[in-house]
Amino acid sequence: MKLPRRTFLHLAAGAAALPAMSRIAMAQTYPSRPVRIIVGYPAGISPDIIARLIAQALSERLGQQFIVDNRPGAASNIGTEVVAHATPDGYTLLMTVSANAINATLYTHVNFDFAHDLTPVARIGLTPFVIVVNPAFAARSVAELIAYAKANPGKINAASAGVGTGPHVACELFKMMTATDMVQVPYKANYMTDLLGGQIPMAFAPIAQIIPDVRAAKLIALGVTTPTRSDAAPEIPAIAETVPGYAASGWYGICAPAGIPAEIVDKLNATVAAAITDPTLKERLLNLGVVPAPLPVDAFKTFVTEEIAKYAKVISFANIKVE
């Protein structure tokens, strides 16, 4: 049977519109079953705690359970791989942290490509690292630290939580941008006893970990790594006030497998943004040292791309390698 040209064009246009209509319908009904948020870290530490707060907020706002699924191991690469290979339908998400941007360069023998196999969905917030020193140390400001380091190259030991961690790479970025030579001392166990006791003079440390000791005057905070002062501790200067352009924040976000429908990404992005700016959840995040910092989808994608590129330069500069 030969169809009239007008009828044929009408049917063809309708067929072409079906995929778009089905995606829109999918987004309108999403989620229709429980959603997993994979966390590449054990229960009870910061990424897990933040993920559980976000999961609860999304469950309340979207009417389906968002379930945290801890898959720790291999510096979070095990959990990341699970999501990278999952069906891109919005029902498997990744609690993403700044370490994922570092790992994209640091780990070359993994079965996924973070930059291409995952799609940034929503940024949750920024959390500063802080340069802290023992009160017996000479410097009382970032400027004094730089001057002392230049006068004493290779003689300052700086603690971090391990090779390739956010604080370690933040320290190496500081060294790169200030042309200073400090010795990075990665601890496999907690370094706080040595820092408080003066066995090691300084550290780049997560704000939530050290702020009680700073406020008790057991440690002195020289600067936060966020681009500007943090609402979590506005009394601490930003390193960027002395070193323009310096930024090495820890951050939290949500990613999904590449290929997830854009309509679902937009829905999740808007829901996360509404949740983290709600006064109750915002206060809980701030108490954990996390400053809510939502971004539109495209801006978050650009942010992640820039983070990967920045840390690739630092890792190359410092010749950071993991065993």
| pLDDT tens readout for residues 35-77 | 999 999 999 888 999 999 999 999 999 999 999 999 999 989 9
Residues for the chain: how many in total? 323
pLDDT of residue 28: 80
Domains of the chain: 32-127+249-318 (3.40.190.150), 129-241 (3.40.190.10)
CB 311 within 8 A of CB 101: yes
Tell me how far the alpha carbon of residue 239 is from its chain's centroid.
19
Secondary structure, 3-state, 11-57:
HHHHHHHHHHHHHHHHHHHCCCCCEEEEECCCCCCHHHHHHHHHHHH
Percent of the chain scoring above 90 in pLDDT: 80
| pLDDT tens readout for residues 142-179 | 999 999 999 999 999 999 888 899 999 999 999 999 99
DSSP-derived secondary structure for 193-211: HHHHHTSS-EEEEEHHHHH
pLDDT of residue 1: 52
Q: Which two tokens stand for residue 49?
A: 């705690």
pTM of the model as a whole: 0.86
20 pLDDT more than 80: no
Mean pLDDT (the chain) is 92
CB 78 within 8 A of CB 42: no
Among 184, 173, 181, smallest CA distance to 149 is for 181
* Residue position matching structure tokens 């701030």: 286
Rounded Cα gap, residues 218 and 136, in angstroms: 10
Q: Which two tokens stand for residue 118?
A: 């995952």
Residue 78 banded pLDDT, cuts 50, 70, 90? very high
Q: At what angle do helices 297-318 and 262-276 cross, to 10 degrees?
A: 80
Spatial CB neighbours of 17, under 8 Å, sequence gap ≥ 6: none
C-alpha R_g of the chain: 23
Any idea which of 6-15, 248-257, 303-312 has the lowest mean pLDDT? 6-15
Positive or negative torsion for Cα 313, 314, 319, 323: negative
Rounded Cα gap, residues 51 and 94, in angstroms: 9
pLDDT of residue 21: 46
- The residues pairing with 156 across neighbouring beta strands, listed in sequence order, are none
CB 81 within 8 A of CB 111: yes
Residue 4 per-residue DSSP state: P
Among 175, 252, 139, 275, smallest CA distance to 206 is for 252
* Residue position matching structure tokens 């992005």: 269
User: Who wins on pLDDT, 37 or 287?
Assistant: 37
Give the Å distances, CA to CA, from 44 to 47, 50, 68, 152: 8, 10, 12, 40
Biggest CA-to-CA distance, the chain:
92
| pLDDT tens readout for residues 179-189 | 999 999 988 77
pLDDT of residue 17: 60
pLDDT of residue 12: 62
Strands 157-160 and 66-70 come out as: unpaired
| pLDDT tens readout for residues 196-248 | 999 999 999 988 889 899 999 999 999 999 999 998 889 999 999 999 999 99
CB 104 within 8 A of CB 308: yes
User: Who wins on pLDDT, 105 or 190?
Assistant: 105
Rounded Cα gap, residues 272 and 279, in angstroms: 13
pLDDT of residue 11: 65
Strands 118-127 and 291-292 come out as: antiparallel
